[in-house]
């Protein structure tokens, strides 16, 4: 932790950031201790210096991330929503700030911090209600595949550029006829000498339009004893002949996030494009999906925390019947219910984050977190819009954007119905 902390502090100094106060409070200097307040007792659910899983070094990093999202993302997000994508300049700024590849090992060219530091970036993005930047997928879904299964050449070629924000990553799993069922994919890569010929299509690919490199999931052995035994992963770079990006998809939410169709028409790939071992792709996916689901869960819960604070502020200002609606008992009780639900979920979520930091998070527990927190996000969104009244239905109000952005969370990363299947399978198994 000491080396990682020094690395983070160096990044913060380079970025011109400072701690919250010249004299850190005992709360801030406590390292993973019990003196830190939990969100239920803090002034707001987004206070810095709370939650026992974090340390004072994490707090300093969080201040840096919060400043970045407030100054470099929030003021421009409405324009990016119209464009259907964020700017490339933003990606490079995030790289300069040390916000990409945070948990990737230094030996691979990453920042070398822990997964809790990555979680800070996820949460701070949700605290400004800006879902456009696909940083989390790039840093904590795509990059780990390369770092964990890539060759030395692949790691050297991609990771430093991805950390710098000069190479944007995406992963192409979903197809028009295969979503949560990864064993149903049809994209096929056929051997041709030492090369591979890739054909197929993918859909709903986050970062797809702006991507410079895409991890493509493809069938490589149609005769395998089961589909899981015949899937491989390939690194396909933008500009490769036959790799075609379709339209940016017009979604009901996540308006600033570039989501695209991708097509592969006789794409010739060298042997060096294979990521990891041939026909081992499904096992790599199963190993990495718990982190993806943890990421979705934590961002969903951070979205709940944002919506609660946004609604709390609104009802304390909005007047009806001669007084603010915060004076109405029905509103007070609803806020009490929502805060309790969020704080209960946060306790479980932070436990999952700590388990993952200790490399002890299993698939069933990650599935619980993803299903529970994304369902809660949609419940909180509905209730918070209701407390905003008609204004909550207006696009210029943050709660309206949070409402539509929440809807996809129970769908991607494996639908919540699939999450329940995974949880149930673990319950009834005799193993």
Residues annotated catalytic, as ranges: 292
Distance of CA 381 to the CA centre of its chain: 19
Task: Give the up-direction half-sphere exposure of residue 208: CA atoms within 13 A in the CB hemisphere.
Answer: 23
Write the secondary structure of 368-406 as one string of H (helix), E (strand) and C (coil). HHHHHHHHHHHHHHHHHHHHHHHHHHCCCCHHHHHHHHH
**No. of H helices and E strands in the chain?**
14, 10
Distances (CA, A) of 382 to 306, 320, 392: 14, 21, 10
The Cα 99–Cα 125 span in angstroms is: 11
User: d(Cα 133, Cα 167) in Å, to the nearest integer?
Assistant: 14
* Residue owning tokens 């011109």: 16
Say how far residue 34 (Cα) sits from the centre of its chain: 28
**Angle in degrees, CA 401, 378, 39, rounded to 5:** 90
User: What phi and psi, each to the nearest 5 degrees, are found at residue 222?
Assistant: -75, -10
In angstroms, rounded to a whole number, what is the distance separating the alpha carbons of residues 256 and 74?
A: 12
Contact present, 44 and 309 (Cβ < 8 Å): yes
What is the token pair recorded at 28?
Answer: 């801030």
Contact 70, 126 (CB under 8 A): no
C-alpha span between 308 and 295 (Å, rounded): 20
C-alpha span between 117 and 43 (Å, rounded)? 23
Residues 6+ apart with CB under 8 A from 224: 230, 279
- CA–CA distance, 100 with 80 (Å, rounded to integer): 20
The residue count for the chain = 431
Q: Kindly state the tokens that stand for 297.
A: 């869960």
DSSP assignment string, 145-213:
HHHHH--HHHHHHHHHHHHTTSS-EEEE--BTTBSS-GGG---EEEEETTEEEEEEEEEEEETTTT-SE
């Amino acid at each position: 932790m000491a080396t990682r902390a020094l690395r983070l502090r160096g990044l913060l100094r380079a970025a011109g950031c400072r701690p919250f106060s010249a004299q850190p409070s005992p709360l801030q200097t406590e390292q993973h201790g019990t003196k830190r307040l939990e969100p239920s007792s803090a002034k707001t659910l987004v206070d810095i210096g709370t939650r026992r899983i974090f340390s004072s070094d994490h707090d300093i990093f969080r201040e840096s991330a919060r400043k970045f999202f407030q100054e470099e993302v929030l003021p421009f997000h409405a324009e990016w929503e119209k464009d259907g994508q964020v700017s490339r300049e933003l990606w490079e700024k995030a790289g300069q700030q040390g916000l990409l590849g945070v948990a990737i090992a230094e030996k691979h060219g990453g920042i070398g911090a822990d997964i809790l530091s990555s979680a800070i970036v996820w949460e701070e993005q949700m605290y400004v209600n800006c879902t456009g930047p696909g940083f989390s997928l790039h840093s904590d879904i795509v990059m780990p595949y390369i770092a964990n299964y890539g060759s030395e050449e692949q790691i050297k070629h991609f990771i430093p550029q991805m950390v710098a924000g000069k190479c944007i990553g995406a992963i192409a799993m979903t197809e028009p006829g295969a979503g949560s069922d990864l064993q149903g994919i049809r994209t096929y890569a056929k051997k041709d000498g030492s090369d591979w010929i890739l054909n197929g299509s993918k859909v709903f690919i986050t970062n797809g339009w702006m991507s410079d490199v895409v991890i493509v999931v493809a069938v490589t052995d149609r005769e395998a004893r089961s589909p899981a035994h015949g899937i491989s992963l390939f690194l396909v770079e933008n500009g490769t002949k036959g790799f075609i990006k379709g339209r940016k998809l017009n979604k009901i939410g996540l308006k600033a996030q570039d989501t695209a169709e991708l097509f592969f028409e006789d794409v010739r790939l060298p042997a060096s494009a294979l990521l990891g071992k041939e026909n081992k792709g499904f096992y790599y996916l199963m190993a990495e999906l718990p982190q993806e689901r943890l990421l979705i869960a934590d961002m969903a819960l951070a979205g709940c925390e944002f919506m609660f604070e946004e609604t709390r502020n609104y009802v304390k200002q909005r007047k009806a019947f001669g007084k603010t609606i915060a004076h109405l008992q029905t509103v007070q009780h609803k806020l009490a219910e929502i805060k309790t639900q969020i704080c209960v979920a946060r306790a479980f979520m932070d436990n999952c984050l700590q388990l993952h930091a200790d490399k002890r998070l299993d698939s069933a527990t990650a599935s619980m977190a993803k299903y529970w927190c994304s369902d809660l996000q949609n419940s909180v969104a509905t209730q918070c819009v209701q407390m905003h009244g008609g204004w909550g239905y207006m696009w210029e109000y943050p709660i309206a954007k949070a409402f539509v952005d929440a809807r996809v969370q129970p769908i991607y990363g494996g639908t919540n119905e699939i999450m329940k299947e995974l949880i149930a399978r673990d319950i009834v198994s005799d193993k």
